[in-house]
Amino acid sequence: MRIGVFVCHCGSNIEGTVDTGTVAKAALDFPEVVYATDTMYACSEPGQDGIIQAIKDKNLTGVVVASCTPRMHEPTFRRAVERAGLNRFMFEMANIREHVSWIGKDREANTNKSVDLVRIAVEKLRRDAPLIPSKFSVNKRVMIIGGGVAGIQAALDCADGGLEVVLVERDSSIGGKMAKLDKTFPTVDCSSCILGPKMVDVAQHPNITLHAYSEVDSIGGYVGNFQVQVKKKATYVDWELCTGCGACMEKCPSKKNPDAFNEKIGPSTSINIPFPQAIPKKAYIDATTCRQFVKGKCGVCAKVCPTGAIRYDMTDEIVTEDVGAIVAATGYDLFDISKIAEYGGGRYPDVITGLQYERLLSASGPTGGHIKRPSDGKEPKNIVFIQCVGSRDKSLDRPYCSGFCCMYTAKQTILTKDHIPDSQSYVFYMDIRAPGKMYDEFTRRAMEEYGARYIRGRVAMVYPKGDKLMVRGADTLAGTQVEIEADLVVLAAGAEAAKGAPQLAEKLRISYDKYGFFMESHPKLKPVETNTAGVYLAGSCQGPKDIPQSVGQGSAAAAKVLALFSKDMLESDPQISRVDIKRCVGCGKCIMTCPFKAIKEVEFRGQKKAEVIETVCQGCGICTSTCPQGAIQLSHFTDNQILAEVNALCQS
Amino acid sequence: MSEAIAYYPGCSGLGTSKEYDTSTRAVCAALGLSLVDIPDWSCCGSTPAHTKDHTLSAALSARNLQLVSGMGLKAAATPCPSCLTNLRTANHRIEAAPFKAKVDKLLDEPYGGDVNAISVLQALVENIGVETIASAVRTPLKGLKVACYYGCIMNRPPELMAFDDCENPMAMDNILAALGAEVVPFPLKVECCGASYGIPRPDVTAALSGKLLEAAVGVGADMVAVACPLCQMNLDLRQGQVNRAMGTHYRIPVPYFTQLMGVALNIPDGEIGFGKLNVDPRPVLSKALSGAD
Ligand SMILES: Cc1cc2nc3c(=O)[nH]c(=O)nc-3n(C[C@H](O)[C@H](O)[C@H](O)COP(=O)(O)OP(=O)(O)OC[C@H]3O[C@@H](n4cnc5c(N)ncnc54)[C@H](O)[C@@H]3O)c2cc1C
Ligand code: SF4
Ligand code: SF4
């Protein structure tokens, strides 16, 4: 082998504490190294050209770059050696930035350690072999999980791009939180007027199949070829027949159930179409409250339904969908305000969440768009808004900012003044976070034109006094305590990961953070990708996001899917395990340890053997350390290569 | 019959809040909770010690806990939340070995940190249980509207006290409900009454205690049940001061919750000690119990 070594300065990042010239010189003494040099920025265009030129001039057959983390630039350099005609796996990296220059200041020690790391890389490279990816075909259908605005946008963009789309929504209608909002900041346009048409597009698009009232049961397969089992929950109404006329709802005798769509501040019937613009506009029965199910007799809806759609004996049904990519867009949930006992949410009816307030403002809400207190239906005059309830609070394990509460609180003060001109809004805030386009202007308008009184400080407690609520807090700008007599208190409850998000993440084999939000592949450069190929993210399932951001991400995820599907064949990563059939004794230990179910049992000349399913194997290497025979080896990380690295280190 | 618990009355238990002490002993005895006096116990350090010296304060409390350990008992109950804070703080602080070494130097015998200090309220809820209390009731407190006031340190800081909800505690409410009383939702359960500010700044205590009385009357309570000798004093003994400062005319009884338990369990008057309170609860009590308006 003819090996070339390139030691990068990374500006002063590495050169500041490592003598790269010395490292390069030392590398010349290593076996099979025929060329070594230091270079200013190996990743830059001249840097890469230098590598390519050297490969050609010196007839190199393998390359080591000593620079930053392979996470950053391994693909860059692999592409470069490939351009020079080598196989992309005839390349190794030594991380002398994160592992050396960034963590130590002693130039001599750093230089020595860098030499060692290069020695290790050379020894590994000497045992590298070209690897050729295999190709497999792609199923160009995509599944979107979650039908909020992010999921809707992703579905429409994919469908318009010519893809077949399967949209899975666990509620009986799509729309998510946005469907519950009255108006939206910063333009104060009617939420259902801008979302409604998109929802209709979903229903009418020939490329979109909608599974509402459904959940993902299990996911198998891999990028290009996923098999997803979708559980269609029993609605007890035949949706083929239901016309959404609503006759059943009118006659249903069970009328006092808390209405989930109205955030439980209004009543609903047991058979229900959640809201007038629902998509699909179909009825479903809530079996936990329906008299037919609870008491065994009623049957009113079955009698009145003009199309005979009611099916009390319906059961859950599983359908399998084969897709090539998946977009998770499962959104968020609200922080449970009853966890902050001092604010009395859940105890005092007139302490409500911001989302409940949206329902009070909405013309299709339980009060027909008139702001009335839940306790006695009176019109409130003094309304106190408390921000950061369950956000930016370490003591509640919610240290993160929920992003949109500052803005929706400002919006709600504006709408309040529009609804009740002689009202006064007070807002307790920590600081105003309004960085979007026209956002700061919007919060200023709430204060300056709509007279909302902003008080910087936390509220200590809310307690009832007669039919009022006393709100006691601090005004940290004035340095005093304040007490406000309120008719209604609205808590800007922060965002939490959607219920069941971690379980779904495990089915998708993607990571989630400690709060349950899904993790993107790279926070800056791969915001809608995940670490599992073919699985993308959109909207606030990844962290709190407002509508513009969620829609932007929905489109971004769609673009990623379209790019993925622009090829007919995909290449699999050849860094996977392979079984040496002669050595394998068929003990099956690898089958049991593989977390990805990538190994199956096969018959070979009458004997049991293990076989790796190439497209499923993630190259984690767990099986290789399990196999008692050493029969299963991870390509590019074989036992021999790792031992050679250890030996090289011990020699130094 | 539950396991025996050491009993730490605290200095006020033998003085200003004698009636809290006697009613506690009588109620626990009636319910089968055996309280064993700690021989030769001393002051827990109270407020002065910990404002001056944490080691001294912890040593004073640790001495008492060490005595309990010597009795072969695992837990000590005290009626006073302030004593409880000191005992628990001592246990918490000596978890750090260097601090424990300093404390042990001041003690006759080192203390292992193995005695759990709890409030009498917690002992009643956890060692006896609300159902048992309910089944022991002889005279149900039917018709009596009670606001339960816990004071600001019974449940706080929550990490230290580790009992009940720190913002909306329910232990006393549950006990009084078990006695048959009507527990009115009292929003200021854990607000400060002014505590020892009654001495240097009576105006502060008058304002804070005044707010509590106002809220209690506002929610229609006949009485405010308390669990802290200092709260009791501020709300009851200083009621006149409050009225004068705030221009109000409250006259609402402020008994210890154990006294109300005593009534329900038919404990003799002498041990309940209503006579030691400033506003005598008996007239209101008999009116409520007789169903008169
Ligand atoms: C009170 C309030 C007011 C707001 N006002 C504004 C505003 O004026 N302007 C603005 O820009 N933003 C506003 N927002 C923020 C806005 O709600 C979000 O930006 C937006 O809803 C995010 O959309 P999404 O699709 O990511 O999530 P969601 O709207 O939460 O949608 C997620 C969808 O996924 C479904 N789902 C969840 N889990 C599963 C699962 N496992 N399987 C299948 N389906 C699942 C859910 O049922 C839901 O339909 C407001 C938020 C609140 C709380
Ligand atoms: S179930 Fe029948 S009655 Fe109800 S909305 Fe559908 S068609 Fe109308
Ligand atoms: S390398 Fe990992 S994923 Fe691949 S077969 Fe082995 S255990 Fe499974």
Chain segment B119-137, per-residue pLDDT in tens: 999 999 999 999 999 999 9
With a cut of 70, say whether residue A578 has pLDDT above it: yes
Q: Which ligand is nearest to the CA of A624?
A: 3
**How much is the average pLDDT of A38-65?**
97
Residue with tokens 């020695």: A119
CA of A531 to the centre of ligand 3 (A): 16
Residue A342's closest chain B neighbor by CA?
B167
With a cut of 70, say whether residue B1 has pLDDT above it: no
- CA gap A560, A538 in Å, rounded: 11
Q: Which ligand is nearest to the CA of A615?
A: 3
pLDDT of residue A419: 97
- Any CB–CB contact under 8 A between A481 and chain B? no
Query: End-to-end CA distance of chain B, in Å?
Result: 40
With a cut of 90, say whether residue A157 has pLDDT above it: yes
**How much is the average pLDDT of A199-203?**
98
Q: In angstroms, what CA-CA distances link A385 with A91, A338, A374?
A: 59, 16, 16
**How much is the average pLDDT of A115-138?**
96
Q: Which amino acid is at B49?
A: A
Which chain B residues touch A466 with a CB distance below 8 Å?
218
Q: In angstroms, what CA-CA distances link B29 with A539, B2, B26, B267?
A: 62, 11, 5, 10
Q: What is the mean pLDDT of chain A?
A: 96
With a cut of 80, say whether residue B2 has pLDDT above it: no
- CA gap B216, B232 in Å, rounded: 14
What's the predicted TM-score (pTM) here? Answer: 0.85
pLDDT of residue A221: 87
- CA gap A117, A99 in Å, rounded: 9
Residue A463's closest chain B neighbor by CA?
B187
CB contact under 8 A, B167 and A340: yes
Q: Name, in order, each residue with C-beta under 8 angstroms of A542's C-beta and a sequence gap of 6 or more.
A: A517, A518, A519, A520, A527, A528, A553
Q: Name, in order, each residue with C-beta under 8 angstroms of A455's C-beta and a sequence gap of 6 or more.
A: A426, A427, A428, A429, A473, A475, A477, A482
Task: Tell which one of A242, A249, A290 to mutate to probe ligand 2, the residue whose CB is within 8 A of the most ligand atoms.
Answer: A242
Q: How far is B274 from chain A (nearest CA, A)?
A: 30
Q: Which of B165, B166, B187 sits opposite A463 (nearest CB)?
A: B187
Going by pLDDT thresholds of 50, 70 and 90, the confidence category of residue A451 is very high
A382-389 and A424-429 beta bridge pairing: parallel
Residue A343's closest chain B neighbor by CA?
B167
Going by pLDDT thresholds of 50, 70 and 90, the confidence category of residue A557 is very high
- Any CB–CB contact under 8 A between A312 and chain B? no
Tell me which residue of A618, A539, A556 sits closest to A174, measured CA to CA.
A539
- What tokens appear for A355 in the block? 């989302």
Q: How far is B169 from chain A (nearest CA, A)?
A: 9
Helix (H) or strand (E) holding A444: helix A439-448
- CA gap A197, A206 in Å, rounded: 16
Going by pLDDT thresholds of 50, 70 and 90, the confidence category of residue B47 is confident
3-state DSSP of A339-397 = HCHHHCCCCCCCEEEHHHHHHHHCCCCCCCCCCCCCCCCCCCCEEEEEEEECCCEHHHC
- What tokens appear for A251 in the block? 């006659």
With a cut of 70, say whether residue A24 has pLDDT above it: yes
Which chain B residues touch A486 with a CB distance below 8 Å?
none
Going by pLDDT thresholds of 50, 70 and 90, the confidence category of residue B191 is very high
Chain segment B85-107, per-residue pLDDT in tens: 999 999 999 999 999 999 999 99
With a cut of 80, say whether residue B24 has pLDDT above it: yes
Query: Which percentage of chain B shows pLDDT scores above 90?
Result: 95
CA of A575 to the centre of ligand 3 (A): 10
Among the atoms of ligand 3, which is closest to the Cα of residue A577?
1
Query: Which percentage of chain A shows pLDDT scores above 70?
Result: 100
- CA gap A557, A541 in Å, rounded: 13
A518 ligand 1 Cβ < 6 A: no
With a cut of 80, say whether residue A652 has pLDDT above it: no
Q: How far is B191 from chain A (nearest CA, A)?
A: 10
With a cut of 80, say whether residue A433 has pLDDT above it: yes
Chain segment A257-269, per-residue pLDDT in tens: 999 999 999 999 9
Chain segment A67-116, per-residue pLDDT in tens: 999 988 999 999 999 999 999 999 999 999 999 999 999 999 999 999 99
Residue nearest to atom 6 of ligand 2 (CA): A242
Substitution target in B150, B173, B188, B212 with the highest count of A β-carbons within 10 Å is: B188
A594 ligand 3 Cβ < 6 A: yes
Tell me which residue of A253, A492, A488, A268 sits closest to A364, measured CA to CA.
A268
Going by pLDDT thresholds of 50, 70 and 90, the confidence category of residue B36 is very high
A263 ligand 1 Cβ < 6 A: no
CB contact under 8 A, B167 and A463: no
**Cα B127 to the chain's mean position, in Å?**
16
| Helix intervals (H) in B1-141 | 10-13, 18-31, 46-52, 54-70, 81-93, 97-106, 120-123, 130-136
Which chain A residues touch B185 with a CB distance below 8 Å?
347, 464
Going by pLDDT thresholds of 50, 70 and 90, the confidence category of residue B246 is very high
Among the atoms of ligand 2, which is closest to the Cα of residue A246?
5
Residues within 8 A of A (CB atoms), B 113-172 only: 165-168
**How much is the average pLDDT of A354-381?**
96
A610 ligand 3 Cβ < 6 A: no
Peptide bond into B187 cis (omega under 30): no
Which chain A residues touch B218 with a CB distance below 8 Å?
465-466
Among the atoms of ligand 3, which is closest to the Cα of residue A634?
1
Among the atoms of ligand 3, which is closest to the Cα of residue A599?
5
A504 ligand 1 Cβ < 6 A: yes
Q: To the nearest 10°, the Cα dihedral for A199, A201, A207, A212? A: 20
- What tokens appear for A174 in the block? 């799509």
CB contact under 8 A, B218 and A342: no
- What tokens appear for A250 in the block? 């009118």
